[in-house]
């Protein structure tokens, strides 16, 4: 099952050239870039681990791409995403976010059904990857 979180998730995976073009666009807008990774891709898991520090004031995408390659080398079997933050209004707002690395196998999610009061039915999703402890999921 292919995880569809972020801006380009419904498209085929972006190449490094396409990723670099998106990073350059973000830099040209004055946005700061940050790289995050996780082995628990649940849609409500919005707080991924940060790789390095956010990168402010860069002129070209080469510095961010160096961090992208470093994160991929360190966590090759994790989901990795790039976030671009806009601080022009005094608040760090995410303006662009997309996945730049995926594990070779994406196990998907289980959908659990629970009957509650009356005729109400409640559904819950859980990631198959989360069945194993953190660090051993992929």
pLDDT in tens, 1-33: 567 777 887 888 899 999 999 999 999 999 999
Averaged pLDDT for residues 66-76: 96
Query: Which pLDDT band, with edges at 50, 70 and 90, does 39 fall under?
Result: confident
Query: Which pLDDT band, with edges at 50, 70 and 90, does 134 fall under?
Result: confident
Strand, coil or helix: 111: strand
Q: What is the pLDDT of residue 50?
A: 95
Q: What is the pLDDT of residue 125?
A: 74
Say how many C-beta atoms besides its own lie within 10 A of residue 61's C-beta.
Answer: 20
Query: Which pLDDT band, with edges at 50, 70 and 90, does 103 fall under?
Result: confident
Averaged pLDDT for residues 64-89: 93
Dihedral pair phi/psi, residue 112, rounded to 5°: -105, 135
pTM above 0.85, yes or no: no
Task: Let me know if 124 is exposed, middle or buried by CB neighbors in 10 A (0-12, 13-18, 19+).
Answer: exposed
Strand, coil or helix: 24: helix
Q: What is the pLDDT of residue 51?
A: 96
- One-character DSSP codes across 33-93: EEEEEES---TT---PEEEEEEE-S-SSTHHHHHHHHHHHHH-TTSEEEEEEEE-TTSS-E
For residue 135, is pLDDT > 80? no
Check if the beta carbon of residue 85 is closer than 8 Å to that of residue 32: yes
């Amino acid at each position: 099952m292919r995880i569809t979180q972020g801006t380009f998730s419904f498209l085929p995976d972006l190449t490094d050239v396409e990723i670099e073009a998106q990073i350059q666009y973000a830099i040209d807008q004055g946005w700061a870039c940050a790289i995050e990774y996780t082995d628990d891709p649940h849609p409500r898991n919005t707080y991924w681990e940060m790789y390095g520090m956010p990168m402010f004031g860069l002129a070209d995408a080469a510095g961010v791409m160096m961090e992208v390659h470093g994160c991929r080398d360190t966590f090759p079997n994790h989901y990795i995403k790039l976030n671009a933050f806009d601080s022009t209004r005094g608040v760090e707002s995410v303006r662009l976010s997309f996945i730049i690395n995926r594990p070779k196998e994406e196990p998907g999610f289980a959908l659990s059904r629970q009957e509650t009061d009356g005729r109400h039915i409640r559904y819950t999703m859980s990631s198959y990857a989360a069945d194993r402890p953190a660090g051993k999921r992929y």
